[in-house]
Amino acid sequence: MADNLKKNMIGAIAWSSINIFGIQAIQLIIGIFLARLLMPADFGIIGVLMVFISLSTVLIDGGFVQGLIRKKDTTEQDLSTIFYLNIIVGIVLYTILYFCAPLIARFFAQPDLTKYSRVLFVIILIFPLYLIQLTQLLKNLEYKKIAIANITSVIVSGSFAIVLAFKGYGVWTLIYQQIAFHSVRVVSYFILVRWKPLLCFNFSTIRNLWSFTMPLLAQTSLNAIFGQIYFVVIGRLFPLNQVGYFTQANKYSETVNAATQNILSTGTFPVLSTIQDDKPRILRVYRKLITSVSTIFFPFVIFLIVAAQPIVVTLITEKWLPSVILLQLLLLANLLTPMFTININVLNAQGLSSASLRLELIKKGLITISIIACFSFGIEIMLMGFVVANFLAYLFSMITIKKTLSHYYRHQIGDLMKILIISLIIGAITWMFNHLDISALLKLIIQGFTFFIIYIIVIRIIFPEKLREIIALKSKKE
């Protein structure tokens, strides 16, 4: 049983990694082309509208995806009921947003947002068409099929967007790219999952899942709102090109942050749910996850902070230099986010969705306070407040883990600090290369080579067991 769990965990995380990092890598390449061809204001327009898309997709999901994944005896009636519910909610939301489009345009003082939003919001009608197919794949840990569908969608929609950008479509390029992505997803999931809904709607399915899904819905709604809240604040108070700079910074930060969170959420929640009643076992798996993720994530993020300027200049030219400091602050703010996500998943897997909701409420409250206190001092100071809020939120999550898993604070801190201190020291050494009077590309190569060579040597000396685990895992795969 233990071997099967470990195998499922490794397989889930492996294919989740291929899926997420494959998507992020392709989007990064496509984004480089689009950033060079389009203007900051074009990205600013999409940035201020995505908050409505994000919140709408969360409301359509309603927390029922995780509810169906966790439900041990899911039936075809359950799947069909939630499928129709998703479609109904999608239609209602699109109708509301269609008629509210002029109000959105007025709020941001951008009259053209009315026509842009009404087209972009078509995504809300498309999303429900493949959500249940995705749920079934997640429940069955079929991450290979998810990777195929998602990577195909990114390649097709991205290629389409590059063609439109070259033809001078401007902001419409980004709008059609989003619509194309979700449309290709519908086709891909219908091909990969041979499922048709029954002609039934069972209210008992909704009632049975309600108590678990409602806290999750509140939690994910908060995540969606606060994941986009800076776009709203910046879009309302600053010119659209500033939103564009923030959009690029956020995109590169999310390439790391969202990828890691998605891998941890999709790859660990279903597996942790299978051992939800065995707390000692959950604690062992939890500590293993924390140490493994920090060993990879901390040095990577510290390096990106150090090398942010040569990265931005090399990839999307000096036109985007104002994005550098914003990128560094966002990366720092999300340094502990993967660990916070693991804590949330551990709580949800045990059915403690109300506890995870409280943590999210605390986090969002701290972010709100930081925005109110700092927005008048400018974007950079506001993001510094974001850094402080995220770090404090993780401290609160440590308290909850201590109570639910009897996991002592000294162990929680000890599992993180060694790797973090090593990464910071190597980052400080690498930072000195920023003063070299050489091209951005050459500077980036030198910094990257220096950082990771030193890191590997240090890990080999201080944590040889980590290398042995990687070698052992590789041998098993072969």
Q: Could you tell me which of 41, 390, 423 has the C-alpha nearest to residue 245? A: 41
Tokens for 2?
């233990």
And the tokens for 76? Answer: 């075809």
pLDDT at 302: 94
**The pLDDT of residue 477 is above 50:** no
Cα 353 from Cα 359, distance rounded (Å)? 10
- pLDDT tens-place string over residues 214-255: 777 777 787 778 778 888 889 888 888 888 899 889 888 877
> Is pLDDT of 374 > 70?
yes
| Residue in the structure block whose two tokens are 């965990």 | 9
For the record, the structure tokens of 371 come out as 């925005």
Tell whether the model's pLDDT for residue 474 goes beyond 60.
no
Q: Taking a C-beta distance cutoff of 8 angstroms, is the pair 137, 146 a contact?
A: yes
pLDDT(476) > 60: no
Across the chain, mean pLDDT equals 84
What are the tens digits of pLDDT across the range 428-467? Answer: 999 999 888 888 999 999 999 999 899 888 888 877 766 5
**Assigned token pair, 279:** 């707390």
Q: How far is residue 223's CA from residue 160's CA, in Å, rounded to a whole number?
A: 30
**Separation between Cα atoms, residue 174 and residue 98, nearest integer Å:** 19
Q: Indicate whether 28 pLDDT > 60.
A: yes
Q: What is the pLDDT of residues 292-349, one digit of tens each?
A: 788 888 899 999 999 999 999 998 888 899 999 999 999 999 998 888 888 887 887 7
CA-closest candidate to residue 146, choices 318, 4, 270 = 270
Average pLDDT on 169-177 reads 94
